[in-house]
Amino acid sequence: MNSLLSIKYALYSLVLTIAIIILSVKINETNPYVVSTIVGLLAFIILILSIIGLINALKSFKEVKKFQTIFAFAVNLFFLTLYSYLIISNI
């Protein structure tokens, strides 16, 4: 059950990443300060979601469905490293 929950968090992170990409394309057309603030908040939310998803993936290593567990762990770890790097590099 924890593996499905961590996959949901990974999908939420993916959808928010797509939203960041769309907002980054629109940054030239609208107010750049508001859009960049929204992008930063979305990146922080993705970081929190990936931490929660990674914790759920670690809890689910005892489950039978190993592929779902490893997939959820890998995707959440990818989002965690990507967005933690982006946030730390922009501080």
Q: What is the pLDDT of residues 3-50, one digit of tens each?
A: 888 889 999 999 999 998 888 887 766 677 888 888 889 999 999 999
Residue with tokens 């922009």: 90
- Over the chain, what is the mean pLDDT? 86
Q: Is the distance from CB of 2 to CB of 61 less than 8 angstroms?
A: no
Which residues in 32-47 are b (16+ Cβ under 10 Å) and which e? eeebeeebeebbeebb
Q: How far apart are CA 84 and CA 9, in angstroms?
A: 16
Structure tokens at 50: 């990936």
Can you give the pLDDT at residue 66? Answer: 81
Is the model's pLDDT at 89 over the cut of 90? Answer: no
pLDDT digits (tens, 9 = 90+) for 42-61: 999 999 999 999 998 888 88
Region 54-80: mean pLDDT is 87
